[in-house]
Homo-oligomer: A and B are copies of this chain.
Amino acid sequence: MRLEHPHLTERFGAVRIHELQRVVELDSGGSAEDHPTGHGHASQVVPAAALRAIERELVIVIPCMNETRRVIEGVLSGIPHDCLIVLVSNSARAPVDRYEIEAQTLADYCRVAERPALAVHQRDAGLAAALKVAGAAELIDEEGLVRAGKGEGMLVGMALATLTRRRYVGYVDADNYVPGAVNEYCKAFAAGLHLAESPYAMVRISWHSKPKLQEGRLFFSRRGRASQVTNHFLNQLIAEYSSFGTDVIATGNAGEHALTLDLGLRMRMAGGFAVEPYQYVDLFEQFGGVLDSFHPEVMASSVEVRQIETRNPHFHDNKGEGHVKDMRLQALNVLYHSAVCLPPVRDAIREFLTAQGALAPEAEPPRERVYPPVGALALDRMLDVLTSEARTFRQIERCLPEGLRTDPPIQRTVA
């Protein structure tokens, strides 16, 4: 993969945010001989072997809710073979058990593709029990199950990723009609993680465009409706600290992102749709130098955020206006309530929400749920209960041509 150089980097304490860099070539080809320096004057090449080395350590979590079998199969076909697939589903289980269809699709696919995978349903009582034992009681709702939000599903995905002992986790939304775009996201994750100089690194994707139906024809819109607002206020926050206006953040709502587990295990995650924007907020809180950090090793090394603009359009089902509004509100709620948020940003958020009719005058935006880091959980205890009680938990082993089997993706910890 060939990328443009990022020309500008903003800092927020120990957090280094690189300006958006575009993908130049999906496949930069060639051998080391062709790219002796690894980068030319105008662009940066990540050779296939370097991508492969990251992919071997990369878990791709697919949060999934009621997607059709065909769409899921397409997404799976786009994930590079060496990445480990983890499906975390929150799909309906009645009248038709859609999770069963998904798990079957995954198992069928993995058999043909000779690769392993993991799957679990977010509302499995056994999963809730496992998380409770691990020390994540906050995730559990009144029904005794893991809360139904996207952030909660992603947290489950990160816990499973950690149990596989791989080093990186990436997230890819299941509602994507273009397998080639999914492939590009994963390659961009690998490229960004390879280029990162810090062990505490994150890669966030900004898609090239989003095709929309508009008066019977296609229009390729450049920015999402939720992202525009989220990015605006995150950039305002940085600008209030630095006294210089900035547009550096282009990926406030990036559903597609990847990070080192060294970083991920230290991050707090928000519930629902606040999860992605809260990642920036949490980095600012924990490593921004405004508040005390619990992680001097991270402060000493810096956190690197890379933003990559893909070539493929993001072509997915339109989830409607309500979905966009939810995303926007939850993003602003977490920023508003952050201890690093400055009064001018707070005022601007309240003004915006009031003007939108989303908030009564003088009212406070609601708080979103924020969970402790996955690194604080007792994951070995979680695994015990998961294995014994979670009925929807599937370890799909890689099935070799000769009928030989390899080890399951998660192996029991040897004491």
Interface residues of A, Cβ cutoff 8 Å to B:
2, 4, 23-30, 37, 39-43, 48, 52, 55, 70, 74, 77-78, 80-83, 109, 111-114, 177-181, 183-184, 208, 211, 213, 216-218, 220, 311-313, 315, 400-401
Distance in angstroms between the alpha carbons of A401 and B55 in the assembled complex: 28
Question: Contacts A213-B213, A313-B178 hold; do A27 and B81 have CB atoms under 8 A apart?
Answer: yes
Contact check, A180 vs B81: say whether CB atoms are below 8 A apart: no
Min C-beta distance of A39 to chain B, whole Å = 8
Cβ of A42: which chain B residues have Cβ within 8 Å of it? 111-112, 114
Between-chain CB contacts (< 8 Å), 12 pairs: A4-B112, A25-B80, A27-B183, A28-B113, A29-B80, A39-B401, A40-B114, A40-B401, A42-B114, A74-B208, A74-B311, A178-B181
Distance in angstroms between the alpha carbons of A410 and B208 in the assembled complex: 34
Cβ of A40: which chain B residues have Cβ within 8 Å of it? 114, 400-401
Residue of B nearest to A74 (CB): B311
Distance in angstroms between the alpha carbons of A30 and B180 in the assembled complex: 19
- Since A37-B401, A42-B112 are in contact, a sample of 9 more A-B pairs with Cβ atoms closer than 8 Å, ordered by chain A residue number, is A23-B77, A26-B179, A27-B80, A27-B183, A29-B80, A30-B81, A43-B113, A48-B48, A178-B178
Min C-beta distance of A195 to chain B, whole Å = 17
Residue of B nearest to A186 (CB): B27
Contact check, A180 vs B113: say whether CB atoms are below 8 A apart: no
Question: Contacts A40-B400, A52-B29 hold; do A213 and B216 have CB atoms under 8 A apart?
Answer: yes
Contact check, A180 vs B177: say whether CB atoms are below 8 A apart: no
Residue of B nearest to A31 (CB): B52
Contact check, A113 vs B213: say whether CB atoms are below 8 A apart: no
Cβ of A25: which chain B residues have Cβ within 8 Å of it? 77, 80-81, 113
